[in-house]
Amino acid sequence: MVHNFQTEIAGRRLEAEIGKVGMLSNGAVMIRYGDTVVLVNANSSPEPREGVDFFPLSVEYEERLYSVGKIPGGFIKREGKPTEKAILSARSIDRPIRPLFPKGYRNDVQVICTVMSVDPDNQPDVLSINGASLALTISDIPFEGPVGAVMVGYIDGQYVLNPDAAQRDKSILHLVVVSTRDRVIMIEAGANEIDEDTMFGAIMFGFEKCQDIIKFQDEIRAEVGKEKVVPEIHHVEEEIESAVREYAKDMVCDVMHIQDRTERNDKTDEMKQDVYEHFAETFPEKEKDIDEVLYDMMKAELRRLALEDGKRVDGRAFNEVRPISCEVGLLPRAHGSALFTRGLTQVLTATTLGAIGDVQVLDGLGDEEYKRYIHHYNFPPYSTGEVRMVRGPGRREIGHGALAERALEPMIPSENEFPYTIRLVSEVLSSNGSTSQASICASTLSLLDAGVPIKAPVAGVAMGMISNDDMSKFKILTDIQGTEDFFGDMDFKVAGTSKGITAIQMDTKIHGLPKDVIRATLDNAREGRIFILGKMRECISKPKSDLSPYAPRIITTTIDPDKIRDVIGAGGKTINKIIADTGVKIDIQDDGRIFICANDTESGKKALKIIDGLTHDVQAGEVYLGKVTRIMPFGAFVEILPGKEGLVHISKLAFERVNKVEDVVNVGDEILVKVTDIDNQGRINLSRKDALKDEKEKSEKEQ
């Protein structure tokens, strides 16, 4: 039986159709908002996966280019690996639903969101979060939702719910809020220096609007929802748990009181080996169960230290940032470079400046066709002291790179102010928490070192939290390190300038955050950010005045768009010759702007002179130093500008009578000529005699 449910959100119809498609899935919904349509299917394996100590959830976001009326590029003409945007969208769906499954649930769960139609006014990724929640909610999978997701904009001092395409262009805030009935469970934001009060208000506005979507899902579940299966939860046998707790309690306490990370990790490994050997005969092949008990014990001790003793594992105050050092100019051939170190977290970022034509072309569902500012993030195994296979960037690397890119993007100068394509690459050299935020700091320093006139420096800080079960007690932690991230309850990243916030990414391991925690985190993050910015300014406070000698030089000019064809030439012959003769790159925009990218100023000026010649309208009375290209009995043809030549009649070659053209000039000679007139057919008439006369009169006046 087909069921159709409808409600109104932000003045537009939200529609969910259930029972028509995906009949064999545990839960399936065709969800529609405006003309944006996403099919979401949720399925779970009937039995837990053997031998795993984690919840095997996978979320896929499948972009279909037919949804926007496009045929994929390339030779294959079908969608291939997911785009960066699709990976980021999948992460944004995964993060809010993952904490809402029972602890110890080990069944494979897969959620696939297939984007089938896209209306530019209604974002498919936000719709997919709601669709995933609904598909899981009506299924028999033990999901402890639902959640609601909305986008919030900020235009002229007003919050805007689910802004359309025109409103998104005007908005200085792009915020996605996902919430449960009583808490915010995910925040993703990009902003142009939004202050903390305005950001908090936007989050709360989004939270309130999420409730309408949650209510809508509850109504659907009441009518068509399946009865939830009783999950088979993995529990450690009571005998193993009690024995391990009794034997290891003092060792766990000792380990968690070690402030130095390296020593603590070494002692943790020793402790585990000791416990394994002690119970090898009593509980054979139960290392994973022993690990689970030790994990719970270490997590509980971290909480006890924070909530009862008021201490952090490394001895810092709760609002204290780890020691910071900054350095720029490390890489002599890079256009800009910087090393940012915070505790044992260390990131090196290199800046590369390129021609406008080096932009990244995007082949996706969005309106954006290219990016001229690109940020990449690499997380090699040595950064954590590990040995593992080195592969291409995973979802985490892509996500962290996108976060840093979003944080810095509002401060990047426009194409008119700084006509370069900018690529940043952040290399994580050492990781002990908050590498994404360290990459933001290193990137700011690297941009300044490269001489990029950014509007203001940007810094980022990762905030954490330790709480009890009902959250009646909690501690906000500034600049969390790896152990606090691993055992803590949230990872709340905030980046911005001294003026305001430019990016937020918040995830939790619990069922969301109440508003007092969000408010306190934003305030504490501002204090931490201002402190970090101060340390960065001590290293470099403004862009270097000169670009690196190895950076390309960009020369810009603007021509009449109707003359673009004169620069390009038939089949690109003219522009290719300019490039071959000068060694530059040339990018021509439809509005007549031309960007010349050269390795040195001289070659750039040479190319500019040629282009000016091709596009200049010759006027009567102008004087040129031209080259003789052809000789005829009646005169000489002289090229005065690239591709433009005129005739010097034999009578205009000299003051005296000339019997033979070759008596005065030969092919290849450079001579001074004056434009006497241009006839109706565009033919240019020149005079050497008039040019020489003008030069003589000018010389006499100067004497």
Q: Where are the beta strands (DSSP E) in 271-331?
A: 324-328
Among 470, 404, 439, 432, residue whose Cα is nearest residue 316: 432
CA–CA distance, 609 with 476 (Å, rounded to integer):
62
C-alpha R_g of the chain: 33
Q: pLDDT digits over 39-96, tens only?
A: 999 999 999 998 888 899 999 999 999 998 988 877 788 888 898 999 999 999 999 9
Rounded CA-CA distance 123/114 in Å is 13
Fold of 324-408+425-489+517-539: Ribosomal Protein S5; domain 2 (3.30.230)
Q: Domains of the chain: which residue ranges?
A: 3-149+198-224, 238-307, 324-408+425-489+517-539, 553-615, 623-702
Q: What is the greatest pairwise CA distance in the chain? A: 121
pLDDT band for position 216 (cuts 50, 70, 90): very high
Contact 432, 500 (CB under 8 A): no
**Topology adopted by domain 553-615:** Ribosomal Protein S8; Chain: A, domain 1 (3.30.1370)
Share of the chain above pLDDT 90, in %: 73
Among 483, 432, 431, 482, CA closest to 305: 483
The pLDDT, as a whole number, for residue 703 is 63
pLDDT in tens, 102-146: 998 999 999 999 999 999 999 999 999 999 999 999 999 999 989
Please say whether the beta carbons of 506 and 187 come within 8 A.
Answer: yes
pLDDT in tens, 528-574: 999 999 999 999 999 999 999 999 999 999 988 988 988 898 888 88
The superfamily (CATH) of domain 3-149+198-224 is: GHMP Kinase, N-terminal domain (3.30.230.70)
Domains 324-408+425-489+517-539 and 553-615 share a fold: no
CATH superfamily, domain 623-702, is Nucleic acid-binding proteins (2.40.50.140)
Share of the chain above pLDDT 70, in %: 99
How would you class 616 by CB atoms within 10 Å of its CB: exposed for 0-12, middle for 13-18, buried for 19 or more?
A: middle
- Identify the pLDDT of residue 359: 83
Question: Rounded CA gap, 42 and 58, in Å?
Answer: 10
pLDDT value of residue 695:
83
Q: Is there a contact between 451 and 262 (Cβ–Cβ < 8 Å)?
A: no
d(CA 262, CA 343): 12
- From the list 475, 482, 492, 570, the residue with the least C-alpha distance to 529 is 492
Burial of 666 (0-12, 13-18, 19+ CB in 10 A): exposed
pTM over 0.85: yes
Closest CA to 129 of 215, 199, 61: 61
Does the pLDDT at position 360 exceed 90? no
The CA distance from 647 to 615, in Å, is 20
484: CB partners within 8 A, 6+ apart: 302, 312, 313, 433, 464, 466, 477
β-strand pairing of 370-371 with 373-378: unpaired
pLDDT tens sequence across 564-612: 988 898 888 889 989 998 999 999 998 999 999 999 889 999 999 888 8
Q: What pLDDT does residue 615 have?
A: 85
Two tokens, residue 147? 């959640």
β-strands 421-430, 345-354 pairing: antiparallel
pLDDT tens for each residue of 628-672: 999 999 999 999 887 789 999 999 999 899 899 998 999 999 999
Distance of CA 518 to the CA centre of its chain: 24
Q: What is the CATH number of domain 238-307?
A: 1.10.10
Determine the average pLDDT of the residues in 296-320.
92
Q: Please spell the DSSP secondary structure of 583-611, one letter per residue.
A: --EEEE-TTSEEEEEESSHHHHHHHHHHH
